A and B are shown apart, each in its own frame.
Chain A
Amino acid sequence: MSSFDPKIVAFCCEQSGVPAAEMAKHLNLSLPERLELVPVPCSGRIETLHLLKALEGGADGVVVFACHEENCRYLKGNVRLKGRVEYARRILAKIGLQQERLEIFRLATNSGVKFAEFLAQKADQLGQLGPNPGKKE
Protein backbone atom coordinates (compact mmCIF):
# COMPACT_ATOMS: atom_id res chain seq x y z
CA MET A 1 0.00 0.00 0.00
CA SER A 2 1.13 3.53 -0.76
CA SER A 3 0.87 6.44 1.68
CA PHE A 4 -0.54 8.61 -1.12
CA ASP A 5 -4.34 8.86 -1.00
CA PRO A 6 -5.53 9.42 -4.59
CA LYS A 7 -8.59 11.38 -5.58
CA ILE A 8 -10.86 9.33 -7.85
CA VAL A 9 -13.69 10.72 -9.94
CA ALA A 10 -16.17 7.98 -10.81
CA PHE A 11 -18.77 8.65 -13.48
CA CYS A 12 -21.69 6.28 -12.85
CA CYS A 13 -24.38 5.34 -15.33
CA GLU A 14 -27.78 5.55 -13.64
CA GLN A 15 -28.72 2.16 -15.07
CA SER A 16 -25.77 0.28 -13.52
CA GLY A 17 -23.06 2.27 -11.71
CA VAL A 18 -25.43 4.30 -9.51
CA PRO A 19 -27.41 1.29 -8.16
CA ALA A 20 -24.15 -0.63 -7.70
CA ALA A 21 -22.73 2.30 -5.70
CA GLU A 22 -25.88 2.45 -3.59
CA MET A 23 -25.63 -1.28 -2.90
CA ALA A 24 -21.98 -0.91 -1.90
CA LYS A 25 -22.94 1.83 0.56
CA HIS A 26 -25.93 -0.17 1.82
CA LEU A 27 -23.64 -3.13 2.51
CA ASN A 28 -21.20 -0.81 4.33
CA LEU A 29 -18.39 -1.82 1.98
CA SER A 30 -15.20 0.17 2.26
CA LEU A 31 -14.79 2.82 -0.46
CA PRO A 32 -11.78 5.06 -1.15
CA GLU A 33 -11.63 8.15 1.06
CA ARG A 34 -11.36 10.70 -1.74
CA LEU A 35 -14.02 9.39 -4.08
CA GLU A 36 -16.32 11.71 -6.03
CA LEU A 37 -19.33 10.06 -7.67
CA VAL A 38 -20.81 11.74 -10.75
CA PRO A 39 -24.14 10.22 -11.81
CA VAL A 40 -24.99 10.40 -15.51
CA PRO A 41 -28.22 9.28 -17.22
CA CYS A 42 -26.21 7.06 -19.59
CA SER A 43 -22.46 6.54 -20.01
CA GLY A 44 -22.94 7.77 -23.58
CA ARG A 45 -23.55 11.23 -22.11
CA ILE A 46 -19.88 11.44 -21.10
CA GLU A 47 -17.78 13.38 -23.57
CA THR A 48 -14.03 13.01 -24.00
CA LEU A 49 -13.74 16.53 -22.61
CA HIS A 50 -15.44 15.54 -19.32
CA LEU A 51 -12.81 12.84 -18.79
CA LEU A 52 -9.89 15.19 -19.42
CA LYS A 53 -11.45 18.00 -17.39
CA ALA A 54 -11.81 15.69 -14.40
CA LEU A 55 -8.10 14.90 -14.57
CA GLU A 56 -7.13 18.51 -15.21
CA GLY A 57 -9.37 19.67 -12.38
CA GLY A 58 -7.72 17.58 -9.69
CA ALA A 59 -8.45 13.88 -10.10
CA ASP A 60 -5.58 11.41 -9.92
CA GLY A 61 -7.72 8.85 -11.70
CA VAL A 62 -11.06 8.67 -13.49
CA VAL A 63 -13.29 5.62 -13.65
CA VAL A 64 -16.48 5.16 -15.63
CA PHE A 65 -18.93 2.59 -14.29
CA ALA A 66 -20.99 1.61 -17.32
CA CYS A 67 -23.37 -1.14 -18.38
CA HIS A 68 -22.15 -4.30 -20.07
CA GLU A 69 -21.85 -4.05 -23.85
CA GLU A 70 -25.09 -4.78 -25.71
CA ASN A 71 -26.95 -4.00 -22.49
CA CYS A 72 -27.42 -0.25 -22.89
CA ARG A 73 -30.89 1.11 -22.20
CA TYR A 74 -30.26 3.68 -24.93
CA LEU A 75 -28.85 1.05 -27.31
CA LYS A 76 -25.39 2.44 -28.10
CA GLY A 77 -24.46 4.79 -25.26
CA ASN A 78 -21.81 2.51 -23.83
CA VAL A 79 -20.39 1.85 -27.30
CA ARG A 80 -19.96 5.59 -27.80
CA LEU A 81 -18.33 5.78 -24.38
CA LYS A 82 -15.80 3.10 -25.35
CA GLY A 83 -14.62 5.14 -28.35
CA ARG A 84 -14.36 8.30 -26.27
CA VAL A 85 -12.40 6.65 -23.46
CA GLU A 86 -10.01 5.10 -26.00
CA TYR A 87 -9.54 8.51 -27.61
CA ALA A 88 -8.92 10.15 -24.22
CA ARG A 89 -6.41 7.43 -23.29
CA ARG A 90 -4.50 8.06 -26.53
CA ILE A 91 -4.37 11.77 -25.63
CA LEU A 92 -3.06 10.90 -22.15
CA ALA A 93 -0.30 8.79 -23.70
CA LYS A 94 0.68 11.64 -26.01
CA ILE A 95 0.96 14.16 -23.18
CA GLY A 96 2.94 11.80 -20.97
CA LEU A 97 0.24 10.76 -18.47
CA GLN A 98 -0.28 7.10 -17.61
CA GLN A 99 -3.27 5.53 -19.37
CA GLU A 100 -4.13 3.66 -16.15
CA ARG A 101 -5.47 6.94 -14.84
CA LEU A 102 -8.58 6.43 -16.96
CA GLU A 103 -10.60 3.24 -17.16
CA ILE A 104 -14.06 1.81 -17.87
CA PHE A 105 -15.50 -0.82 -15.57
CA ARG A 106 -18.61 -2.64 -16.76
CA LEU A 107 -21.06 -3.93 -14.21
CA ALA A 108 -24.74 -4.59 -13.48
CA THR A 109 -27.15 -3.05 -10.96
CA ASN A 110 -26.45 -5.76 -8.37
CA SER A 111 -22.64 -5.48 -8.56
CA GLY A 112 -22.09 -3.56 -5.30
CA VAL A 113 -19.26 -5.83 -4.20
CA LYS A 114 -17.51 -5.64 -7.58
CA PHE A 115 -17.91 -1.85 -7.47
CA ALA A 116 -16.12 -1.61 -4.12
CA GLU A 117 -13.46 -4.16 -5.03
CA PHE A 118 -12.60 -2.42 -8.28
CA LEU A 119 -12.31 0.96 -6.58
CA ALA A 120 -10.04 -0.50 -3.91
CA GLN A 121 -7.77 -1.95 -6.62
CA LYS A 122 -7.83 1.31 -8.54
CA ALA A 123 -6.98 3.36 -5.44
CA ASP A 124 -4.05 1.02 -4.79
CA GLN A 125 -2.85 1.26 -8.41
CA LEU A 126 -3.12 5.07 -8.41
CA GLY A 127 -1.34 5.16 -5.08
CA GLN A 128 1.59 3.38 -6.71
CA LEU A 129 1.55 5.80 -9.67
CA GLY A 130 1.54 8.84 -7.41
CA PRO A 131 -0.23 12.18 -7.89
CA ASN A 132 -1.43 13.16 -11.36
CA PRO A 133 1.28 15.57 -12.56
CA GLY A 134 -1.11 17.25 -15.02
CA LYS A 135 -3.67 18.47 -12.50
CA LYS A 136 -3.98 22.08 -11.44
CA GLU A 137 -2.08 22.94 -8.31
Chain B
Amino acid sequence: MIKAEQKPIEEILEYLAPHDHILLSGCGACVTVCHAGGEKEVALLASALRMARQSAGRPLEILEVTPARQCEPEFAQELTDTIGRVQAVLSLSCGVGVQTLTRHFPVTPIYPGVNTAFLGETVEHGLWAERCQACGNCILEKTAGVCPIARCAKQLLNGPCGGSSNGKCEIKRETDCAWQLIYDRSKSLGQLHRLTEIIPAKQWGTQSRDSGPRSIAREDLKV
Protein backbone atom coordinates (compact mmCIF):
# COMPACT_ATOMS: atom_id res chain seq x y z
CA MET B 1 0.00 0.00 0.00
CA ILE B 2 0.91 3.64 -0.26
CA LYS B 3 2.89 4.89 2.73
CA ALA B 4 2.99 8.48 3.90
CA GLU B 5 3.98 10.56 6.89
CA GLN B 6 2.51 13.75 8.24
CA LYS B 7 4.14 17.01 7.25
CA PRO B 8 5.61 19.16 10.04
CA ILE B 9 2.85 21.10 11.80
CA GLU B 10 4.82 24.33 11.35
CA GLU B 11 4.69 23.87 7.56
CA ILE B 12 0.95 23.12 7.63
CA LEU B 13 0.27 26.18 9.78
CA GLU B 14 2.13 28.33 7.26
CA TYR B 15 -0.12 27.48 4.36
CA LEU B 16 -3.27 27.61 6.44
CA ALA B 17 -2.34 31.13 7.58
CA PRO B 18 -4.71 32.94 5.19
CA HIS B 19 -7.71 30.81 6.21
CA ASP B 20 -10.11 30.79 9.18
CA HIS B 21 -12.45 27.95 8.20
CA ILE B 22 -11.19 24.74 6.64
CA LEU B 23 -12.05 21.11 6.02
CA LEU B 24 -9.54 18.55 7.25
CA SER B 25 -10.05 15.45 5.17
CA GLY B 26 -8.44 12.11 5.87
CA CYS B 27 -8.68 8.90 3.89
CA GLY B 28 -9.90 5.53 5.09
CA ALA B 29 -7.53 3.52 2.91
CA CYS B 30 -3.71 3.40 2.75
CA VAL B 31 -2.93 6.39 4.99
CA THR B 32 -5.17 4.94 7.70
CA VAL B 33 -3.12 1.75 7.70
CA CYS B 34 0.16 3.66 8.05
CA HIS B 35 -1.30 5.97 10.72
CA ALA B 36 -0.65 9.12 8.70
CA GLY B 37 -4.12 10.25 7.63
CA GLY B 38 -6.94 8.16 9.03
CA GLU B 39 -9.82 9.26 11.23
CA LYS B 40 -7.63 9.29 14.36
CA GLU B 41 -4.90 11.34 12.74
CA VAL B 42 -7.48 13.80 11.42
CA ALA B 43 -8.87 14.34 14.94
CA LEU B 44 -5.39 14.66 16.44
CA LEU B 45 -4.11 17.13 13.87
CA ALA B 46 -7.33 19.14 14.02
CA SER B 47 -6.97 19.48 17.78
CA ALA B 48 -3.33 20.54 17.49
CA LEU B 49 -4.06 23.07 14.76
CA ARG B 50 -6.97 24.56 16.69
CA MET B 51 -4.82 25.00 19.79
CA ALA B 52 -1.96 26.48 17.76
CA ARG B 53 -4.23 29.05 16.16
CA GLN B 54 -6.07 29.75 19.41
CA SER B 55 -2.69 30.47 21.05
CA ALA B 56 -1.84 32.81 18.18
CA GLY B 57 -5.10 34.72 18.70
CA ARG B 58 -6.58 33.67 15.36
CA PRO B 59 -8.98 30.77 15.99
CA LEU B 60 -9.31 28.24 13.19
CA GLU B 61 -12.61 26.48 12.56
CA ILE B 62 -12.08 22.94 11.32
CA LEU B 63 -14.60 20.48 9.91
CA GLU B 64 -13.38 16.89 10.01
CA VAL B 65 -14.18 14.12 7.57
CA THR B 66 -12.62 10.81 6.54
CA PRO B 67 -14.07 9.37 3.33
CA ALA B 68 -13.47 5.67 2.68
CA ARG B 69 -11.16 6.47 -0.26
CA GLN B 70 -10.41 10.03 -1.19
CA CYS B 71 -8.94 8.98 -4.56
CA GLU B 72 -12.29 7.76 -5.92
CA PRO B 73 -14.55 10.27 -7.70
CA GLU B 74 -17.71 9.02 -5.96
CA PHE B 75 -16.29 9.70 -2.51
CA ALA B 76 -14.82 13.03 -3.60
CA GLN B 77 -18.19 14.17 -4.93
CA GLU B 78 -19.83 13.39 -1.59
CA LEU B 79 -17.72 16.21 -0.14
CA THR B 80 -19.26 18.82 -2.44
CA ASP B 81 -21.60 20.42 0.12
CA THR B 82 -19.01 20.40 2.88
CA ILE B 83 -16.28 21.89 0.71
CA GLY B 84 -18.73 24.58 -0.38
CA ARG B 85 -18.85 25.79 3.24
CA VAL B 86 -15.07 26.17 3.80
CA GLN B 87 -12.28 28.36 2.48
CA ALA B 88 -9.75 25.57 1.93
CA VAL B 89 -9.12 21.86 2.38
CA LEU B 90 -6.22 20.24 4.16
CA SER B 91 -5.98 16.67 2.91
CA LEU B 92 -4.26 13.89 4.80
CA SER B 93 -4.64 11.48 1.91
CA CYS B 94 -1.76 10.60 -0.39
CA GLY B 95 -0.87 12.80 -3.35
CA VAL B 96 -3.42 10.93 -5.44
CA GLY B 97 -6.30 11.86 -3.14
CA VAL B 98 -5.18 15.48 -3.04
CA GLN B 99 -5.28 15.61 -6.83
CA THR B 100 -8.70 13.93 -6.98
CA LEU B 101 -10.07 16.79 -4.87
CA THR B 102 -8.12 19.30 -6.98
CA ARG B 103 -9.82 17.94 -10.11
CA HIS B 104 -13.32 18.06 -8.59
CA PHE B 105 -13.10 21.39 -6.77
CA PRO B 106 -11.42 23.89 -9.08
CA VAL B 107 -11.96 27.03 -6.99
CA THR B 108 -11.02 25.68 -3.54
CA PRO B 109 -7.37 25.47 -2.46
CA ILE B 110 -6.45 21.87 -1.54
CA TYR B 111 -3.32 21.56 0.60
CA PRO B 112 -1.37 18.36 1.30
CA GLY B 113 -0.99 17.44 4.97
CA VAL B 114 1.25 14.42 4.42
CA ASN B 115 4.31 13.58 2.38
CA THR B 116 3.59 10.54 0.23
CA ALA B 117 6.65 8.38 0.66
CA PHE B 118 6.54 5.00 -1.10
CA LEU B 119 4.71 1.76 -1.85
CA GLY B 120 5.51 -0.45 1.06
CA GLU B 121 4.82 -3.20 3.51
CA THR B 122 4.10 -3.12 7.25
CA VAL B 123 7.15 -4.91 8.63
CA GLU B 124 5.94 -4.59 12.21
CA HIS B 125 3.64 -2.23 14.11
CA GLY B 126 5.09 1.23 13.56
CA LEU B 127 7.60 0.20 10.87
CA TRP B 128 7.00 0.34 7.11
CA ALA B 129 9.48 -0.43 4.36
CA GLU B 130 9.56 0.20 0.61
CA ARG B 131 8.80 -2.85 -1.51
CA CYS B 132 7.67 -1.61 -4.94
CA GLN B 133 8.48 1.30 -7.22
CA ALA B 134 5.62 0.73 -9.68
CA CYS B 135 8.16 0.36 -12.49
CA GLY B 136 5.45 -0.94 -14.80
CA ASN B 137 6.99 -4.32 -15.66
CA CYS B 138 7.14 -6.72 -12.71
CA ILE B 139 10.04 -9.19 -12.64
CA LEU B 140 9.37 -10.75 -9.22
CA GLU B 141 8.96 -14.18 -10.85
CA LYS B 142 12.62 -14.00 -11.89
CA THR B 143 13.96 -12.76 -8.56
CA ALA B 144 12.38 -15.17 -6.09
CA GLY B 145 9.75 -12.62 -5.07
CA VAL B 146 12.22 -9.95 -3.90
CA CYS B 147 12.30 -6.75 -5.94
CA PRO B 148 15.76 -5.44 -6.86
CA ILE B 149 14.26 -2.26 -8.30
CA ALA B 150 12.72 -1.21 -4.99
CA ARG B 151 15.16 -2.83 -2.60
CA CYS B 152 18.60 -2.50 -4.27
CA ALA B 153 19.99 1.03 -4.01
CA LYS B 154 21.53 0.62 -7.47
CA GLN B 155 18.54 -1.22 -8.98
CA LEU B 156 20.83 -3.95 -10.28
CA LEU B 157 19.10 -6.71 -12.24
CA ASN B 158 21.74 -9.43 -12.41
CA GLY B 159 23.40 -9.94 -9.07
CA PRO B 160 24.89 -7.78 -6.34
CA CYS B 161 27.46 -5.03 -6.66
CA GLY B 162 30.88 -5.22 -5.01
CA GLY B 163 29.58 -3.31 -2.01
CA SER B 164 27.40 -6.11 -0.63
CA SER B 165 29.00 -7.19 2.63
CA ASN B 166 27.75 -9.72 5.19
CA GLY B 167 24.30 -9.49 3.63
CA LYS B 168 24.09 -5.73 4.01
CA CYS B 169 24.06 -2.84 1.53
CA GLU B 170 27.03 -0.46 1.26
CA ILE B 171 24.73 2.53 0.78
CA LYS B 172 22.83 1.92 4.02
CA ARG B 173 24.56 -0.51 6.36
CA GLU B 174 21.32 -1.32 8.21
CA THR B 175 19.58 -2.37 4.97
CA ASP B 176 19.60 -5.93 3.73
CA CYS B 177 21.28 -6.42 0.35
CA ALA B 178 18.41 -7.22 -2.02
CA TRP B 179 20.56 -9.63 -3.99
CA GLN B 180 21.59 -11.49 -0.85
CA LEU B 181 17.86 -11.89 -0.10
CA ILE B 182 17.23 -13.05 -3.68
CA TYR B 183 20.09 -15.56 -3.47
CA ASP B 184 18.99 -16.92 -0.06
CA ARG B 185 15.38 -17.33 -1.11
CA SER B 186 16.26 -18.88 -4.48
CA LYS B 187 18.39 -21.38 -2.58
CA SER B 188 15.61 -22.24 -0.13
CA LEU B 189 13.19 -22.66 -3.06
CA GLY B 190 15.69 -24.91 -4.87
CA GLN B 191 15.77 -22.41 -7.75
CA LEU B 192 19.37 -21.20 -7.72
CA HIS B 193 19.69 -22.23 -11.36
CA ARG B 194 17.24 -19.44 -12.29
CA LEU B 195 19.83 -16.85 -11.32
CA THR B 196 21.91 -17.84 -14.35
CA GLU B 197 19.19 -16.37 -16.60
CA ILE B 198 20.11 -12.87 -17.68
CA ILE B 199 17.43 -10.28 -16.95
CA PRO B 200 17.46 -7.75 -19.78
CA ALA B 201 17.71 -4.03 -19.06
CA LYS B 202 14.34 -2.49 -18.29
CA GLN B 203 12.58 -0.37 -20.87
CA TRP B 204 12.49 2.68 -18.66
CA GLY B 205 11.60 5.03 -21.49
CA THR B 206 8.44 3.21 -22.55
CA GLN B 207 7.20 1.37 -19.46
CA SER B 208 7.96 3.70 -16.59
CA ARG B 209 7.41 7.24 -15.41
CA ASP B 210 10.32 8.34 -17.64
CA SER B 211 7.89 8.74 -20.54
CA GLY B 212 5.50 10.92 -18.56
CA PRO B 213 2.44 10.12 -16.43
CA ARG B 214 1.01 6.69 -17.14
CA SER B 215 -2.60 5.63 -17.40
CA ILE B 216 -4.49 2.37 -17.79
CA ALA B 217 -7.60 2.21 -19.95
CA ARG B 218 -10.04 -0.71 -19.82
CA GLU B 219 -12.56 -0.25 -22.60
CA ASP B 220 -14.75 -3.07 -21.22
CA LEU B 221 -15.26 -1.14 -17.98
CA LYS B 222 -16.04 2.27 -19.43
CA VAL B 223 -19.67 3.36 -19.30
Contact = CB atoms under 8 A, between A and B. Distances in A.
Main secondary structure of the interface of B (DSSP, over half): helix
B9 A91 contact: yes
Interface in B32-46: 40, 43-44
B44 A96 contact: no
Interface in B15-44: 40, 43-44
A109 interface: no
A49 B47 contact: yes
- Most chain A CB atoms below 10 A, which of B49, B50, B51, B54: B51
Nearest to B8: A94
A94 B10 contact: yes
| Of A49, A56, A94, A95, most B-chain CB atoms within 10 Å | A95
Contacts of B49: 95
Contacts of B56: 96
A135 interface: yes
Given A91-B9, A94-B8, A55 B40 contact: no
Interface of B: 8-10, 13, 40, 43-44, 47-52, 54-56
Task: Please list the 3 inter-chain residue pairs (A to B) with the smallest Cβ-Cβ separation, ordered nearest first.
Answer: A134-B51, A95-B52, A133-B55
10 contacts: A49-B43, A49-B44, A52-B51, A56-B47, A91-B48, A94-B8, A95-B13, A95-B48, A134-B50, A135-B54
